[in-house]
Structure 1
Amino acid sequence: MTDSNITPLHKALFRILRPLARLLLRNGVPYGEFSELVKRAYVESALEDFTDGRRKPTDSRAAVMTGLTRKEVKRQREILSGGNPARETTSNANRASRVVSGWVHDATFQSADGQPAVLAFEGEPSFAGLVRKYSGDMPPRAVLDELLRVGVVVVEEGTGSLHLRKRAYVPAGDSDDMLQIFGEDVSDLIATVDHNLVSSEQGRPPLFQRTLTYDNIPSDVIESWRKHAAGRSQALLEDLDSWLGPYDRDVTGSQGNDSAKDAVRTGVSIFYFEEPIQQGKNGDDQP
Protein backbone atom coordinates (compact mmCIF):
# COMPACT_ATOMS: atom_id res chain seq x y z
CA MET A 1 0.00 0.00 0.00
CA THR A 2 1.51 3.33 -1.06
CA ASP A 3 1.20 6.54 0.93
CA SER A 4 -1.27 7.87 -1.64
CA ASN A 5 -3.62 4.95 -0.87
CA ILE A 6 -3.63 5.54 2.87
CA THR A 7 -7.01 6.99 3.77
CA PRO A 8 -8.00 8.75 7.02
CA LEU A 9 -9.69 5.49 8.03
CA HIS A 10 -6.44 3.56 7.50
CA LYS A 11 -4.59 6.04 9.70
CA ALA A 12 -7.23 5.75 12.41
CA LEU A 13 -7.14 1.95 12.21
CA PHE A 14 -3.36 1.84 12.58
CA ARG A 15 -3.56 4.06 15.64
CA ILE A 16 -6.15 1.67 17.13
CA LEU A 17 -4.24 -1.46 16.20
CA ARG A 18 -0.85 -0.28 17.53
CA PRO A 19 -1.72 -0.49 21.26
CA LEU A 20 -3.92 -3.51 20.54
CA ALA A 21 -0.91 -5.32 19.05
CA ARG A 22 1.08 -4.49 22.19
CA LEU A 23 -1.65 -5.98 24.40
CA LEU A 24 -1.94 -9.10 22.23
CA LEU A 25 1.81 -9.72 22.18
CA ARG A 26 2.04 -9.23 25.95
CA ASN A 27 -0.67 -11.88 26.39
CA GLY A 28 0.87 -14.33 23.92
CA VAL A 29 -1.67 -13.99 21.11
CA PRO A 30 0.10 -14.45 17.74
CA TYR A 31 -1.03 -12.85 14.48
CA GLY A 32 -2.62 -16.05 13.14
CA GLU A 33 -4.94 -16.33 16.14
CA PHE A 34 -5.89 -12.65 15.87
CA SER A 35 -6.51 -13.10 12.13
CA GLU A 36 -8.98 -15.91 12.84
CA LEU A 37 -10.95 -13.67 15.19
CA VAL A 38 -10.98 -10.86 12.62
CA LYS A 39 -12.39 -13.22 9.97
CA ARG A 40 -15.11 -14.32 12.40
CA ALA A 41 -16.03 -10.74 13.22
CA TYR A 42 -16.19 -9.83 9.50
CA VAL A 43 -18.47 -12.77 8.73
CA GLU A 44 -20.78 -12.12 11.68
CA SER A 45 -21.07 -8.44 10.78
CA ALA A 46 -21.78 -9.19 7.11
CA LEU A 47 -24.47 -11.72 8.05
CA GLU A 48 -26.15 -9.68 10.78
CA ASP A 49 -25.46 -5.97 10.27
CA PHE A 50 -25.96 -5.59 6.53
CA THR A 51 -29.22 -7.41 5.84
CA ASP A 52 -32.09 -5.79 3.94
CA GLY A 53 -34.65 -7.15 6.40
CA ARG A 54 -36.36 -9.28 3.77
CA ARG A 55 -33.98 -12.02 2.72
CA LYS A 56 -31.77 -14.30 4.75
CA PRO A 57 -28.12 -13.32 4.10
CA THR A 58 -26.18 -15.84 2.06
CA ASP A 59 -22.60 -17.04 2.26
CA SER A 60 -22.05 -15.76 -1.28
CA ARG A 61 -23.10 -12.23 -0.38
CA ALA A 62 -20.97 -12.32 2.77
CA ALA A 63 -18.02 -13.51 0.71
CA VAL A 64 -18.41 -10.59 -1.69
CA MET A 65 -18.59 -8.10 1.16
CA THR A 66 -15.70 -9.49 3.22
CA GLY A 67 -13.32 -10.61 0.47
CA LEU A 68 -13.21 -14.09 2.00
CA THR A 69 -13.98 -17.25 0.05
CA ARG A 70 -17.40 -18.83 0.40
CA LYS A 71 -15.69 -21.85 1.97
CA GLU A 72 -14.12 -19.64 4.63
CA VAL A 73 -17.39 -17.80 5.25
CA LYS A 74 -19.17 -21.14 5.71
CA ARG A 75 -16.48 -22.33 8.13
CA GLN A 76 -16.69 -19.19 10.24
CA ARG A 77 -20.50 -19.21 10.17
CA GLU A 78 -20.52 -22.78 11.46
CA ILE A 79 -18.19 -21.81 14.29
CA LEU A 80 -20.48 -18.90 15.15
CA SER A 81 -23.58 -21.10 15.07
CA GLY A 82 -22.01 -23.25 17.76
CA GLY A 83 -22.06 -20.31 20.16
CA ASN A 84 -19.96 -17.17 20.26
CA PRO A 85 -18.13 -16.90 23.61
CA ALA A 86 -17.26 -13.28 22.81
CA ARG A 87 -20.94 -12.44 23.30
CA GLU A 88 -21.08 -13.73 26.84
CA THR A 89 -21.81 -10.73 29.04
CA THR A 90 -22.10 -12.35 32.47
CA SER A 91 -18.60 -12.31 33.95
CA ASN A 92 -17.42 -12.19 37.52
CA ALA A 93 -16.86 -8.46 37.02
CA ASN A 94 -20.45 -7.93 35.89
CA ARG A 95 -21.78 -9.97 38.79
CA ALA A 96 -19.70 -8.07 41.33
CA SER A 97 -20.84 -4.79 39.77
CA ARG A 98 -24.48 -5.87 40.05
CA VAL A 99 -23.98 -6.65 43.73
CA VAL A 100 -22.56 -3.17 44.37
CA SER A 101 -25.32 -1.54 42.31
CA GLY A 102 -28.00 -3.43 44.23
CA TRP A 103 -26.43 -2.33 47.51
CA VAL A 104 -26.54 1.29 46.34
CA HIS A 105 -30.03 1.37 44.80
CA ASP A 106 -32.18 -1.37 46.31
CA ALA A 107 -34.17 -0.04 49.28
CA THR A 108 -33.97 -3.47 50.91
CA PHE A 109 -30.24 -2.92 51.44
CA GLN A 110 -30.35 0.79 52.28
CA SER A 111 -30.45 2.58 55.62
CA ALA A 112 -33.21 5.03 56.62
CA ASP A 113 -31.40 7.94 54.93
CA GLY A 114 -31.24 6.12 51.58
CA GLN A 115 -27.55 5.29 51.82
CA PRO A 116 -26.08 1.76 51.47
CA ALA A 117 -26.73 0.02 54.78
CA VAL A 118 -24.16 -1.63 56.99
CA LEU A 119 -24.81 -5.35 56.46
CA ALA A 120 -24.11 -8.49 58.41
CA PHE A 121 -22.87 -11.41 56.34
CA GLU A 122 -25.93 -13.50 57.20
CA GLY A 123 -29.37 -12.50 58.43
CA GLU A 124 -32.10 -10.27 57.04
CA PRO A 125 -31.12 -8.10 55.28
CA SER A 126 -27.62 -9.43 54.74
CA PHE A 127 -24.72 -9.44 52.35
CA ALA A 128 -25.46 -13.07 51.51
CA GLY A 129 -29.03 -12.11 50.60
CA LEU A 130 -27.72 -9.27 48.44
CA VAL A 131 -25.44 -11.64 46.54
CA ARG A 132 -28.18 -14.22 46.07
CA LYS A 133 -30.47 -11.54 44.59
CA TYR A 134 -27.97 -9.88 42.27
CA SER A 135 -25.24 -12.40 41.52
CA GLY A 136 -27.05 -15.65 40.77
CA ASP A 137 -25.18 -18.74 41.88
CA MET A 138 -21.94 -17.02 42.92
CA PRO A 139 -20.97 -18.01 46.50
CA PRO A 140 -21.41 -14.98 48.81
CA ARG A 141 -18.02 -15.61 50.43
CA ALA A 142 -16.26 -15.55 47.04
CA VAL A 143 -17.94 -12.25 46.12
CA LEU A 144 -17.04 -10.75 49.51
CA ASP A 145 -13.41 -11.84 49.20
CA GLU A 146 -13.18 -10.11 45.81
CA LEU A 147 -14.81 -6.89 47.04
CA LEU A 148 -12.50 -6.89 50.06
CA ARG A 149 -9.49 -7.47 47.80
CA VAL A 150 -10.18 -4.39 45.68
CA GLY A 151 -11.17 -2.22 48.63
CA VAL A 152 -14.85 -1.79 47.78
CA VAL A 153 -15.97 -3.31 51.10
CA VAL A 154 -14.40 -3.08 54.56
CA VAL A 155 -15.12 -5.17 57.65
CA GLU A 156 -15.86 -3.42 60.92
CA GLU A 157 -13.56 -4.71 63.64
CA GLY A 158 -15.33 -6.39 66.53
CA THR A 159 -18.76 -6.73 64.91
CA GLY A 160 -17.77 -8.12 61.50
CA SER A 161 -20.31 -5.80 59.87
CA LEU A 162 -19.72 -4.96 56.22
CA HIS A 163 -19.47 -1.36 54.99
CA LEU A 164 -19.62 -0.32 51.34
CA ARG A 165 -16.56 1.90 50.95
CA LYS A 166 -16.82 2.61 47.22
CA ARG A 167 -19.90 2.82 45.01
CA ALA A 168 -18.25 1.12 42.04
CA TYR A 169 -16.39 -2.16 41.48
CA VAL A 170 -13.17 -1.97 39.47
CA PRO A 171 -11.13 -5.19 39.25
CA ALA A 172 -7.46 -4.83 40.14
CA GLY A 173 -4.56 -6.18 38.11
CA ASP A 174 -4.22 -7.69 34.64
CA SER A 175 -7.03 -10.18 35.22
CA ASP A 176 -9.64 -11.87 33.08
CA ASP A 177 -12.16 -9.37 34.44
CA MET A 178 -10.03 -6.44 33.28
CA LEU A 179 -9.84 -7.97 29.81
CA GLN A 180 -13.64 -8.39 29.84
CA ILE A 181 -14.02 -4.69 30.64
CA PHE A 182 -11.45 -3.84 27.96
CA GLY A 183 -13.56 -5.65 25.36
CA GLU A 184 -16.77 -3.95 26.45
CA ASP A 185 -15.32 -0.43 26.67
CA VAL A 186 -13.52 -0.47 23.32
CA SER A 187 -16.49 -2.10 21.61
CA ASP A 188 -18.84 0.54 23.01
CA LEU A 189 -16.57 3.39 21.92
CA ILE A 190 -16.21 2.09 18.37
CA ALA A 191 -19.98 1.50 18.15
CA THR A 192 -20.58 5.11 19.22
CA VAL A 193 -18.09 6.45 16.67
CA ASP A 194 -19.65 4.30 13.93
CA HIS A 195 -23.12 5.57 14.87
CA ASN A 196 -21.96 9.19 14.73
CA LEU A 197 -20.26 8.76 11.35
CA VAL A 198 -23.54 7.73 9.70
CA SER A 199 -26.14 9.34 11.98
CA SER A 200 -26.76 12.37 9.77
CA GLU A 201 -27.25 10.19 6.68
CA GLN A 202 -29.73 7.98 8.52
CA GLY A 203 -31.61 10.85 10.17
CA ARG A 204 -30.64 9.79 13.69
CA PRO A 205 -29.31 12.11 16.40
CA PRO A 206 -25.61 11.68 17.23
CA LEU A 207 -24.55 10.14 20.53
CA PHE A 208 -22.52 12.19 22.99
CA GLN A 209 -18.79 11.82 22.28
CA ARG A 210 -16.25 14.27 23.64
CA THR A 211 -12.55 14.20 24.52
CA LEU A 212 -10.37 16.69 26.39
CA THR A 213 -6.77 16.61 25.11
CA TYR A 214 -3.62 18.69 25.61
CA ASP A 215 -0.21 17.76 24.26
CA ASN A 216 2.25 20.11 25.97
CA ILE A 217 1.68 19.66 29.71
CA PRO A 218 4.74 19.70 32.02
CA SER A 219 5.39 16.34 33.66
CA ASP A 220 5.39 17.77 37.20
CA VAL A 221 1.68 18.60 36.83
CA ILE A 222 0.61 15.07 35.87
CA GLU A 223 0.32 13.50 39.32
CA SER A 224 -1.98 16.28 40.58
CA TRP A 225 -3.96 16.23 37.32
CA ARG A 226 -4.35 12.44 37.50
CA LYS A 227 -5.85 12.66 41.01
CA HIS A 228 -8.08 15.63 40.07
CA ALA A 229 -9.38 13.93 36.91
CA ALA A 230 -10.08 10.68 38.76
CA GLY A 231 -11.97 12.42 41.56
CA ARG A 232 -14.15 14.55 39.28
CA SER A 233 -14.81 11.65 36.90
CA GLN A 234 -15.87 9.36 39.74
CA ALA A 235 -18.18 12.06 41.11
CA LEU A 236 -19.81 12.49 37.68
CA LEU A 237 -20.33 8.75 37.25
CA GLU A 238 -21.88 8.48 40.72
CA ASP A 239 -24.23 11.36 39.89
CA LEU A 240 -25.28 9.69 36.63
CA ASP A 241 -25.68 6.37 38.42
CA SER A 242 -27.96 8.01 40.99
CA TRP A 243 -30.22 9.16 38.14
CA LEU A 244 -30.24 6.01 35.99
CA GLY A 245 -29.79 3.21 38.51
CA PRO A 246 -33.29 3.39 40.04
CA TYR A 247 -34.79 2.63 36.59
CA ASP A 248 -32.93 -0.69 36.32
CA ARG A 249 -35.50 -3.51 36.26
CA ASP A 250 -33.21 -5.74 38.31
CA VAL A 251 -33.61 -3.18 41.09
CA THR A 252 -37.27 -2.23 40.59
CA GLY A 253 -38.36 -5.84 40.11
CA SER A 254 -40.70 -4.77 37.28
CA GLN A 255 -39.80 -7.60 34.92
CA GLY A 256 -42.71 -8.27 32.55
CA ASN A 257 -43.25 -10.91 29.91
CA ASP A 258 -42.21 -8.49 27.16
CA SER A 259 -39.50 -6.64 29.11
CA ALA A 260 -36.64 -8.24 27.18
CA LYS A 261 -38.05 -6.92 23.89
CA ASP A 262 -37.73 -3.26 24.87
CA ALA A 263 -34.64 -3.52 27.08
CA VAL A 264 -31.83 -1.10 26.21
CA ARG A 265 -28.19 -1.32 27.26
CA THR A 266 -26.90 2.20 27.86
CA GLY A 267 -24.28 4.06 29.84
CA VAL A 268 -21.45 6.56 29.85
CA SER A 269 -17.81 5.52 29.79
CA ILE A 270 -14.96 7.72 31.04
CA PHE A 271 -11.29 6.85 30.74
CA TYR A 272 -8.08 8.71 31.48
CA PHE A 273 -5.03 8.65 29.20
CA GLU A 274 -1.49 9.96 29.18
CA GLU A 275 1.60 9.28 27.09
CA PRO A 276 4.99 10.92 26.69
CA ILE A 277 5.61 12.98 23.55
CA GLN A 278 8.63 11.70 21.64
CA GLN A 279 10.69 13.62 19.11
CA GLY A 280 10.52 12.10 15.64
CA LYS A 281 13.51 11.76 13.35
CA ASN A 282 12.56 14.99 11.58
CA GLY A 283 12.15 16.85 14.86
CA ASP A 284 8.36 16.62 14.90
CA ASP A 285 6.58 15.62 18.08
CA GLN A 286 5.13 12.12 17.93
CA PRO A 287 3.09 10.13 20.46
Structure 2
Amino acid sequence: MNKTTSDALQTEQQALLAAIGHLLKPFATLCLAKGVPIQAIEELVRHAYVEAAKQACEGDNPERLTSRISTMTGLTRREVGRIQQIPTPQLPATRSVATDLLTHWTSQAAYVDKAKKPLGIPRQGPTPSFEALAASVTKDVHARSLLAEMVRLNLVIHHKATDMVELLEDIFVPNDNWPQMIGFLGTNVGDHLEAAVTNVLGDGHQHFEQALLADELSSESVNEAKALISAQWRSLMTTLGPQLQALMDADQAAQRPQDQTIRIGLYSLSKPMPSTEDSSK
Protein backbone atom coordinates (compact mmCIF):
# COMPACT_ATOMS: atom_id res chain seq x y z
CA MET A 1 0.00 0.00 0.00
CA ASN A 2 1.54 3.30 -1.06
CA LYS A 3 1.45 6.49 1.02
CA THR A 4 -1.35 8.09 -1.02
CA THR A 5 -3.59 5.03 -0.60
CA SER A 6 -2.73 4.84 3.10
CA ASP A 7 -3.58 8.51 3.64
CA ALA A 8 -6.89 8.11 1.80
CA LEU A 9 -7.79 5.07 3.90
CA GLN A 10 -6.93 6.90 7.11
CA THR A 11 -9.09 9.85 6.05
CA GLU A 12 -12.02 7.50 5.37
CA GLN A 13 -11.54 5.79 8.72
CA GLN A 14 -11.45 9.11 10.60
CA ALA A 15 -14.65 10.22 8.88
CA LEU A 16 -16.27 6.89 9.75
CA LEU A 17 -15.21 7.13 13.40
CA ALA A 18 -16.65 10.64 13.60
CA ALA A 19 -19.97 9.38 12.23
CA ILE A 20 -19.99 6.42 14.64
CA GLY A 21 -19.28 8.78 17.53
CA HIS A 22 -22.38 10.73 16.56
CA LEU A 23 -24.43 7.50 16.42
CA LEU A 24 -23.19 6.27 19.78
CA LYS A 25 -24.19 9.33 21.82
CA PRO A 26 -27.94 8.52 21.93
CA PHE A 27 -27.18 4.88 22.76
CA ALA A 28 -24.85 5.96 25.57
CA THR A 29 -27.61 8.18 26.96
CA LEU A 30 -30.05 5.26 26.85
CA CYS A 31 -27.62 2.81 28.47
CA LEU A 32 -26.69 5.24 31.25
CA ALA A 33 -30.37 5.85 31.96
CA LYS A 34 -30.84 2.10 32.54
CA GLY A 35 -27.54 1.53 34.35
CA VAL A 36 -25.92 -0.60 31.62
CA PRO A 37 -22.13 -0.61 32.24
CA ILE A 38 -19.69 0.03 29.41
CA GLN A 39 -18.24 -3.50 29.76
CA ALA A 40 -21.56 -4.96 28.56
CA ILE A 41 -21.50 -2.70 25.49
CA GLU A 42 -17.88 -3.61 24.75
CA GLU A 43 -18.86 -7.29 24.78
CA LEU A 44 -21.68 -6.60 22.32
CA VAL A 45 -19.29 -4.72 20.01
CA ARG A 46 -16.87 -7.68 20.05
CA HIS A 47 -19.74 -10.03 19.26
CA ALA A 48 -20.91 -7.80 16.38
CA TYR A 49 -17.38 -7.64 14.94
CA VAL A 50 -17.04 -11.41 15.01
CA GLU A 51 -20.45 -11.94 13.41
CA ALA A 52 -19.73 -9.38 10.67
CA ALA A 53 -16.31 -10.91 9.95
CA LYS A 54 -17.80 -14.40 9.90
CA GLN A 55 -20.37 -13.27 7.34
CA ALA A 56 -17.65 -11.64 5.23
CA CYS A 57 -15.68 -14.92 5.27
CA GLU A 58 -18.62 -17.07 4.20
CA GLY A 59 -17.41 -19.73 1.79
CA ASP A 60 -13.80 -19.61 3.00
CA ASN A 61 -11.91 -22.60 4.37
CA PRO A 62 -13.66 -23.42 7.70
CA GLU A 63 -10.36 -24.55 9.22
CA ARG A 64 -8.92 -21.06 8.74
CA LEU A 65 -12.05 -19.19 9.81
CA THR A 66 -10.95 -18.33 13.35
CA SER A 67 -7.59 -17.03 12.13
CA ARG A 68 -9.26 -14.96 9.40
CA ILE A 69 -11.71 -13.44 11.88
CA SER A 70 -8.86 -12.71 14.28
CA THR A 71 -6.90 -10.91 11.56
CA MET A 72 -9.90 -8.88 10.41
CA THR A 73 -11.12 -7.81 13.86
CA GLY A 74 -7.90 -7.47 15.84
CA LEU A 75 -9.18 -9.94 18.45
CA THR A 76 -7.07 -12.88 19.56
CA ARG A 77 -7.95 -16.34 18.26
CA ARG A 78 -8.83 -17.38 21.79
CA GLU A 79 -11.20 -14.41 22.15
CA VAL A 80 -12.81 -15.17 18.78
CA GLY A 81 -13.39 -18.76 19.87
CA ARG A 82 -14.91 -17.64 23.18
CA ILE A 83 -17.26 -15.15 21.53
CA GLN A 84 -18.47 -17.71 18.98
CA GLN A 85 -19.69 -19.88 21.86
CA ILE A 86 -21.96 -17.09 23.17
CA PRO A 87 -25.55 -17.05 21.83
CA THR A 88 -26.60 -13.95 19.88
CA PRO A 89 -28.92 -11.74 21.98
CA GLN A 90 -32.46 -11.80 20.61
CA LEU A 91 -34.61 -8.69 20.24
CA PRO A 92 -37.94 -8.72 22.13
CA ALA A 93 -40.96 -9.44 19.96
CA THR A 94 -42.76 -6.35 18.67
CA ARG A 95 -45.40 -7.70 16.34
CA SER A 96 -48.76 -8.86 17.67
CA VAL A 97 -52.29 -9.33 16.38
CA ALA A 98 -53.24 -6.02 18.05
CA THR A 99 -50.49 -4.07 16.25
CA ASP A 100 -51.40 -5.74 12.94
CA LEU A 101 -55.04 -4.73 13.39
CA LEU A 102 -53.99 -1.18 14.25
CA THR A 103 -51.94 -1.02 11.04
CA HIS A 104 -54.86 -2.28 8.94
CA TRP A 105 -57.31 0.14 10.57
CA THR A 106 -55.10 3.15 9.80
CA SER A 107 -54.08 2.07 6.29
CA GLN A 108 -57.22 0.70 4.62
CA ALA A 109 -59.35 3.19 2.67
CA ALA A 110 -62.63 1.78 4.02
CA TYR A 111 -61.59 2.54 7.59
CA VAL A 112 -60.42 6.17 7.29
CA ASP A 113 -62.16 9.44 6.42
CA LYS A 114 -61.22 11.99 3.76
CA ALA A 115 -58.60 13.46 6.11
CA LYS A 116 -57.06 9.95 6.41
CA LYS A 117 -58.11 9.71 10.07
CA PRO A 118 -59.47 6.39 11.40
CA LEU A 119 -63.25 6.12 11.46
CA GLY A 120 -65.38 4.85 14.31
CA ILE A 121 -66.78 1.48 13.20
CA PRO A 122 -69.55 -0.93 14.27
CA ARG A 123 -68.40 -3.85 16.38
CA GLN A 124 -70.17 -6.38 14.11
CA GLY A 125 -71.24 -6.62 10.50
CA PRO A 126 -69.68 -6.40 7.05
CA THR A 127 -66.77 -4.13 6.12
CA PRO A 128 -66.14 -1.67 7.64
CA SER A 129 -66.58 -3.23 11.08
CA PHE A 130 -64.30 -4.37 13.86
CA GLU A 131 -65.40 -7.96 13.27
CA ALA A 132 -64.49 -7.80 9.55
CA LEU A 133 -61.22 -6.03 10.32
CA ALA A 134 -60.24 -8.67 12.87
CA ALA A 135 -61.09 -11.47 10.42
CA SER A 136 -58.81 -9.89 7.79
CA VAL A 137 -55.90 -9.90 10.27
CA THR A 138 -56.23 -13.31 11.94
CA LYS A 139 -58.29 -16.47 11.95
CA ASP A 140 -56.79 -17.66 15.23
CA VAL A 141 -58.09 -15.00 17.64
CA HIS A 142 -61.79 -14.25 18.00
CA ALA A 143 -62.82 -10.64 17.36
CA ARG A 144 -64.30 -10.43 20.87
CA SER A 145 -60.96 -11.41 22.46
CA LEU A 146 -59.04 -9.03 20.21
CA LEU A 147 -61.37 -6.17 21.12
CA ALA A 148 -60.86 -6.88 24.83
CA GLU A 149 -57.07 -6.82 24.37
CA MET A 150 -57.14 -3.53 22.48
CA VAL A 151 -59.36 -2.00 25.16
CA ARG A 152 -56.85 -3.20 27.77
CA LEU A 153 -54.03 -1.57 25.83
CA ASN A 154 -56.07 1.65 25.74
CA LEU A 155 -55.98 1.65 21.94
CA VAL A 156 -59.75 1.60 21.44
CA ILE A 157 -62.93 2.38 23.30
CA HIS A 158 -66.08 0.30 22.92
CA HIS A 159 -69.23 2.42 23.16
CA LYS A 160 -71.65 -0.24 24.37
CA ALA A 161 -74.73 1.96 24.01
CA THR A 162 -74.19 2.23 20.25
CA ASP A 163 -72.00 -0.88 19.88
CA MET A 164 -69.42 1.26 18.06
CA VAL A 165 -65.64 0.93 18.37
CA GLU A 166 -63.44 4.03 18.26
CA LEU A 167 -59.68 4.11 17.85
CA LEU A 168 -58.03 6.15 20.60
CA GLU A 169 -54.43 5.86 19.42
CA ASP A 170 -53.44 5.49 15.77
CA ILE A 171 -49.80 4.94 16.77
CA PHE A 172 -48.91 2.07 19.07
CA VAL A 173 -46.42 3.10 21.76
CA PRO A 174 -46.12 0.35 24.41
CA ASN A 175 -45.27 2.66 27.32
CA ASP A 176 -46.11 -0.05 29.88
CA ASN A 177 -43.99 -2.70 28.13
CA TRP A 178 -40.30 -1.75 28.18
CA PRO A 179 -39.01 -4.86 26.33
CA GLN A 180 -41.49 -4.32 23.50
CA MET A 181 -40.71 -0.60 23.29
CA ILE A 182 -36.97 -1.24 23.12
CA GLY A 183 -37.67 -3.98 20.59
CA PHE A 184 -39.29 -1.38 18.33
CA LEU A 185 -36.22 0.82 18.74
CA GLY A 186 -33.95 -2.06 17.77
CA THR A 187 -35.92 -3.14 14.70
CA ASN A 188 -36.82 0.31 13.36
CA VAL A 189 -33.48 2.04 13.95
CA GLY A 190 -31.58 -1.15 13.12
CA ASP A 191 -33.26 -1.57 9.73
CA HIS A 192 -32.78 2.14 8.95
CA LEU A 193 -29.09 1.89 9.81
CA GLU A 194 -28.67 -1.35 7.84
CA ALA A 195 -30.21 0.31 4.77
CA ALA A 196 -27.87 3.30 5.10
CA VAL A 197 -24.78 1.11 5.60
CA THR A 198 -25.67 -1.07 2.60
CA ASN A 199 -26.03 2.06 0.46
CA VAL A 200 -22.71 3.51 1.66
CA LEU A 201 -20.87 0.27 0.93
CA GLY A 202 -22.65 -0.10 -2.43
CA ASP A 203 -23.55 2.43 -5.10
CA GLY A 204 -26.15 4.22 -2.98
CA HIS A 205 -29.19 2.76 -4.75
CA GLN A 206 -29.76 -0.49 -2.87
CA HIS A 207 -32.39 0.97 -0.52
CA PHE A 208 -34.44 4.15 -0.37
CA GLU A 209 -32.94 6.27 2.42
CA GLN A 210 -33.43 10.03 2.26
CA ALA A 211 -33.93 12.90 4.71
CA LEU A 212 -35.17 16.48 4.53
CA LEU A 213 -33.70 19.18 6.78
CA ALA A 214 -35.31 22.55 7.51
CA ASP A 215 -33.71 25.04 9.88
CA GLU A 216 -34.20 28.66 10.95
CA LEU A 217 -37.69 27.81 12.24
CA SER A 218 -39.52 29.17 15.27
CA SER A 219 -41.02 26.94 17.96
CA GLU A 220 -44.47 27.82 16.63
CA SER A 221 -43.49 26.72 13.13
CA VAL A 222 -42.05 23.46 14.46
CA ASN A 223 -45.42 22.66 16.09
CA GLU A 224 -47.16 23.33 12.76
CA ALA A 225 -44.58 21.17 10.98
CA LYS A 226 -45.29 18.27 13.34
CA ALA A 227 -48.96 18.38 12.36
CA LEU A 228 -47.99 18.40 8.68
CA ILE A 229 -45.71 15.40 9.21
CA SER A 230 -48.48 13.44 10.95
CA ALA A 231 -50.80 14.19 8.04
CA GLN A 232 -48.15 12.99 5.59
CA TRP A 233 -47.75 9.74 7.52
CA ARG A 234 -51.51 9.10 7.50
CA SER A 235 -51.55 9.72 3.76
CA LEU A 236 -48.59 7.39 3.25
CA MET A 237 -50.22 4.63 5.30
CA THR A 238 -53.56 4.80 3.50
CA THR A 239 -51.91 5.00 0.07
CA LEU A 240 -49.24 2.32 0.46
CA GLY A 241 -51.15 -0.05 2.73
CA PRO A 242 -53.65 -1.30 0.13
CA GLN A 243 -51.00 -1.31 -2.61
CA LEU A 244 -48.66 -3.49 -0.54
CA GLN A 245 -51.56 -5.83 0.28
CA ALA A 246 -52.32 -6.06 -3.45
CA LEU A 247 -48.70 -7.05 -4.11
CA MET A 248 -48.91 -9.78 -1.44
CA ASP A 249 -52.17 -11.06 -2.92
CA ALA A 250 -50.62 -11.11 -6.41
CA ASP A 251 -47.60 -13.06 -5.12
CA GLN A 252 -49.88 -15.60 -3.47
CA ALA A 253 -52.02 -15.98 -6.59
CA ALA A 254 -48.92 -16.46 -8.77
CA GLN A 255 -47.45 -18.87 -6.20
CA ARG A 256 -44.21 -16.89 -6.07
CA PRO A 257 -41.92 -17.50 -3.06
CA GLN A 258 -43.02 -15.01 -0.38
CA ASP A 259 -39.71 -14.84 1.47
CA GLN A 260 -38.99 -11.09 1.42
CA THR A 261 -39.85 -8.28 3.84
CA ILE A 262 -39.86 -4.52 3.53
CA ARG A 263 -40.01 -1.87 6.28
CA ILE A 264 -41.08 1.69 5.48
CA GLY A 265 -40.65 4.42 8.06
CA LEU A 266 -40.90 8.16 8.58
CA TYR A 267 -39.31 10.03 11.45
CA SER A 268 -38.81 13.61 12.52
CA LEU A 269 -36.57 15.26 15.11
CA SER A 270 -36.75 18.87 16.19
CA LYS A 271 -34.10 20.47 18.39
CA PRO A 272 -32.26 23.78 18.79
CA MET A 273 -29.93 24.67 15.94
CA PRO A 274 -26.21 24.31 16.75
CA SER A 275 -24.46 27.57 17.53
CA THR A 276 -21.99 29.02 15.03
CA GLU A 277 -19.17 27.97 17.35
CA ASP A 278 -20.41 24.35 17.55
CA SER A 279 -20.93 24.02 13.78
CA SER A 280 -17.40 25.20 13.07
CA LYS A 281 -15.82 22.42 15.11
TM-score band w.r.t. shorter chain: 0.7 to 0.9
**Map of 1:71-150 to 2, 5 A cutoff?**
71-80=78-87, 84-86=89-91, 90-91=93-94, 93-101=95-103, 118-120=122-124, 125=131, 133=139, 140=146, 143-147=149-153, 149-150=154-155
Structure 2 residue ranges without an equivalent (≥5) = 1-9, 112-117
CA distance 1:15–1:274, shift in 2 (3 Å): same
Q: 1:244: Cα distance to partner?
A: 0.8
CA distance 1:255–1:29, shift in 2 (3 Å): farther
Question: 1: distance between equivalents of 2:140 and 2:262?
Answer: 19
Q: Give SS of 1:207's match.
A: coil
Question: 1: distance between equivalents of 2:168 and 2:191?
Answer: 28
CA distance 1:172–1:52, shift in 2 (3 Å): closer
CA distance 1:193–1:274, shift in 2 (3 Å): same
Question: 2: distance between equivalents of 1:243 and 1:120?
Answer: 26
| Equivalent residue number for residue 39 of structure 1 | 46
| Equivalent residue number for residue 62 of structure 1 | 69
CA distance 1:32–1:258, shift in 2 (3 Å): farther
Question: 2: distance between equivalents of 1:286 and 1:220?
Answer: 27
Question: 2: distance between equivalents of 1:62 and 1:128?
Answer: 49
Is 2:172 the partner of 1:170?
yes
Higher relative contact order (CA 8 A, sep 6+): 2
Q: 1:181: Cα distance to partner?
A: 1.2
Contact 2:57–2:65, Cα closer than 8 Å, also in 1: no
User: What is the one-letter code of the residue matched to 1:171?
Assistant: V
| Residue 22 of structure 1, aligned match among 24, 29, 34 | 29
Q: 1:285: Cα distance to partner?
A: 4.6
TM superposition score normalised by structure 1: 0.72
Question: 1: distance between equivalents of 2:146 and 2:233?
Answer: 30
CA distance 1:141–1:225, shift in 2 (3 Å): closer
TM superposition score normalised by structure 2: 0.73
Q: 1:159: Cα distance to partner?
A: 4.4
Calculate percent identity across the aligned residue pairs.
Answer: 22
Q: 1:163: Cα distance to partner?
A: 4.2
Question: 2: distance between equivalents of 1:188 and 1:77?
Answer: 24
Question: 2: distance between equivalents of 1:257 and 1:146?
Answer: 39
User: What is the one-letter code of the residue matched to 2:270?
Assistant: E
CA distance 1:44–1:142, shift in 2 (3 Å): farther
Contact 2:97–2:138, Cα closer than 8 Å, also in 1: no
CA distance 1:216–1:103, shift in 2 (3 Å): closer
Q: 1:198: Cα distance to partner?
A: 2.5
Contact 1:277–1:286, Cα closer than 8 Å, also in 2: no
Q: 1:256: Cα distance to partner?
A: 10
User: What is the one-letter code of the residue matched to 2:51?
Assistant: E
| Equivalent residue number for residue 271 of structure 2 | 275
CA distance 1:258–1:217, shift in 2 (3 Å): closer
CA distance 1:133–1:67, shift in 2 (3 Å): farther
Q: Give SS of 1:58's match.
A: helix
Contact 2:233–2:266, Cα closer than 8 Å, also in 1: yes
Residues paired across the two proteins, number: 258
Q: 1:15: Cα distance to partner?
A: 0.7
Q: 1:43: Cα distance to partner?
A: 1.3
Q: 1:18: Cα distance to partner?
A: 0.9
Contact 1:43–1:77, Cα closer than 8 Å, also in 2: yes
CA distance 1:196–1:135, shift in 2 (3 Å): farther
| Equivalent residue number for residue 210 of structure 1 | 210
Question: 2: distance between equivalents of 1:126 and 1:207?
Answer: 35
Q: 1:267: Cα distance to partner?
A: 2.5
